[in-house]
Structure 1
């Protein structure tokens, strides 16, 4: 029953890793070298005579070419890795250490390193298959055999060399583009808006029964199996287990919360059923937060960027203003996002799982409440925050959301007045 949680955790770890895409491209380069050499062995070099514009290499020339391409690509791969580390170090000091995952997960950097390593392995595989007549006579009992030059594979090496040059040009542009602060903010903002849109579709399909969650009662606790941040929770498995056991499960920790091994994350009613002890495995727990099922995480990233930009050491209010613009757009979409039901029922309509949900008030507190103490200290950022809240308020249709937003605007105005006085 814990397989889905483990699968989600593994997928998130792979997405956040720097090794997966380069390793995959390296293996593809290795396999391509073997495959094209096999084609050369099957077809031979007789086909070259029908294509006069093709140039067939001799063994010495082929070795020289492959050695040059292999040596150049592995050298550039080292340079690429060094530049990536320099960019990551700059981002860590300038934008905050929690934004490192955005640079590590950058597919452009990963693909660039993978292309160079794949080209290097490809050249090594093809290089070892080249034979001259003198070399083959020793392992055939002195009988002279024709030299072997994998011409198809040689053209593949040339194609990879040209592709590597194009990738290098792209990489130089991509690195400078990736560390531009407005692009960093925009990537986080676009990811947040896309996540909200995706969850809006899922939650609209789920619907809400309009019934509030029953008050928390005493039950048998199920402890967390690991210490860390909850990345994901398999609610479907919880519902299935509760229906099979005729029980009610109350969830105590949601994605984004920190849990400690041995502390309760679930309450089971009726109490005393040891069969539920394994339900703690339905929580995917990681060493760091992620946006897998936690909408607060990208919001906190934007708030962190804005807060650091407003610090005396950086003093960059325009970065904070850009973050506020994206947070305002996110709040507009969050106000329209349906809230998942807090009560999950089985096919017979019985209450089986009670899950706490984050509402507009929680997201407003994350986006504005956390940023308010920093924004009101700057004469440019504070008024822009009020202006953005005004635009968000004009777009809201739910009176409850409007009341929450108006209250937050009052807090911002009072904080700005106190600072002026």
Structure 2
């Protein structure tokens, strides 16, 4: 069932889906309007209904149909130009965010639906002297669609210019990343016992499952895997997690003492990574935006700093969240062990690429250390704070090795020391630093 919902969601997000649905509805509505008028005619009290004859209705419908399909071509051209810009400056993996944008789909759907409605209505207009027929309801509604198309064109011009703004893109990716984080983690419960996986020797003599084909693991149905393992009275170990590329004939699962039936029914492979269970994909999309911004051809550290701020936002939101252990028992019997993303892997995906590409940019390295310090003040877990310190040490080392200016090097050391103070003293150091910063700003304001 989860696989079916995944496929349905993917289809519904395709660029053609909303325009196709709107076109079909427009054709059905056109047929309904023609049939209603042929059966009941036009009541005398409806003065707003179009009252012209056959020639006028033909001219009007032809004008609306021609202009709507012409503007639809213009809209499509603008969309292609926006997609080309996005692919060049922010990465090709962000194209999905533009093609699945409902505003773009509704705009194109409105123009295509208007064209289909008017064209279908036009074929019903007859000029026979014995029995002329003008679908007055449809001509009136075609005028409404024409006005709606003008409104959608104005909306689209504002929408598409905003959708390629770097800050807007960063916020969209941040929302996707935050949703994935909330789905991948659990509410922290101090009374929750951590399940422990058996040692590697436990799986030595198990039955091995080889991948029948290659592709990205888009979805893992843990409930179905647990059900199959319980029904077969076995323990099951998965070697892959959502987002991994599964190579043909590679080992993806081990069952002890044997494999349950239908393991592949719970694993959905595809040609590309998808947002959802694949947490690192959401992170890497943002990291790629920062890496491209730091390339010599773009040289846009401000965008990289925006991405760093979003990563700090995500890490601070994990303060009261815990990672699942990936080990499932039923009635104290081991049934399922799956690999999961942890805090160490998440922070590595966030900051390693930015550090490597931005090691020569003082503003980026300083902002990394500042975000690390703020994040350390938000997190209470000792292991997570140790991970933050490790990344701060890497940033300091790379910055001092690649930045020559003595003033910038002094700032790096000062930010790094402030982080160490926060790690040592907790939130108190952060509060004191914020107070000192406010005092300095106030003194600067008086001096001016």
TM-score normalized with structure 2 length: 0.85
Q: Structure 2 CA distance, aligned partners of 1:267 and 1:189?
A: 36
Describe the shift of the 1:362–1:132 C-alpha distance in structure 2 as closer, same or farther (beyond 3 A): same
Aligned residue for 2:361? 378
Conserved? CA contact 1:81–1:113, under 8 Å: yes
Aligned residue for 2:82? 87
Q: Structure 1 CA distance, aligned partners of 2:353 and 2:165?
A: 24
Matched, 1:308 2:305: no
Aligned residue for 1:139? none
Task: Give the drift of 1:16.
Answer: 4.4
> Per-residue CA shift, 1:180-221, capped at 9, x if unaligned?
1111111111221233234446x669x964122112312211
Describe the shift of the 1:121–1:208 C-alpha distance in structure 2 as closer, same or farther (beyond 3 A): farther
Aligned residue for 2:435? none
Shifted more, 357-366 versus 246-255: the winner is: 357-366
Aligned residue for 2:301? 317
- Larger RCO of the pair (alpha carbons < 8 Å, separation 6+): 1
Conserved? CA contact 1:12–1:292, under 8 Å: no
> Could you list the runs of 5+ residues in structure 2 that have no partner in the other structure?
405-448
Describe the shift of the 1:209–1:251 C-alpha distance in structure 2 as closer, same or farther (beyond 3 A): farther
Task: Give the drift of 1:86.
Answer: 1.1
Conserved? CA contact 1:123–1:157, under 8 Å: yes
Q: Structure 2 CA distance, aligned partners of 1:55 and 1:240?
A: 63
Aligned residue for 1:156? 141
Describe the shift of the 1:155–1:371 C-alpha distance in structure 2 as closer, same or farther (beyond 3 A): same
1:73-112 alignment runs, 5 A limit: 73-112=68-107
Across the two proteins, how many residue pairs are aligned to each other?
A: 400
1:332-347 alignment runs, 5 A limit: 332-346=316-330
Matched, 1:33 2:30: yes
1:188-227 alignment runs, 5 A limit: 188-200=173-185, 209-216=193-200, 217-218=203-204, 219-227=206-214
Q: Structure 1 CA distance, aligned partners of 2:240 and 2:193?
A: 22
- Select 1:360's aligned residue among 320, 335, 343: 343
Task: Give the drift of 1:256.
Answer: 0.9
Aligned residue for 1:140? none
Describe the shift of the 1:209–1:25 C-alpha distance in structure 2 as closer, same or farther (beyond 3 A): farther
Conserved? CA contact 2:12–2:18, under 8 Å: no
Q: Structure 1 CA distance, aligned partners of 2:62 and 2:386?
A: 70
Aligned residue for 2:392? 409
Describe the shift of the 1:208–1:228 C-alpha distance in structure 2 as closer, same or farther (beyond 3 A): farther
Q: Structure 1 CA distance, aligned partners of 2:199 and 2:309?
A: 38
Task: Give the drift of 1:42.
Answer: 2.5
Aligned residue for 2:2? 4
Kindly report the root-mean-square deviation, in angstroms, between the aligned alpha carbons of the 2 structures. 1.9
Q: Structure 2 CA distance, aligned partners of 1:301 and 1:336?
A: 25
Matched, 1:387 2:367: no
Aligned residue for 1:265? 252
- Select 2:228's aligned residue among 235, 241, 262: 241
Q: Structure 2 CA distance, aligned partners of 1:204 and 1:81?
A: 47
Conserved? CA contact 2:185–2:324, under 8 Å: no
Shifted more, 331-340 versus 312-321: the winner is: 331-340
Aligned residue for 1:50? 45
TM-score normalized with structure 1 length: 0.90
Q: Structure 2 CA distance, aligned partners of 1:290 and 1:51?
A: 51
1:50 counterpart SS class: coil
Conserved? CA contact 2:301–2:363, under 8 Å: yes
1:380 counterpart SS class: helix
> Per-residue CA shift, 1:202-254, capped at 9, x if unaligned?
x669x964122112312211222331111110111111111110011101100
1:126-137 alignment runs, 5 A limit: 126-134=121-129
- Select 1:399's aligned residue among 378, 382, 395: 382
Task: Give the drift of 1:395.
Answer: 0.5
Task: Give the drift of 1:127.
Answer: 1.2
2:252 counterpart SS class: strand
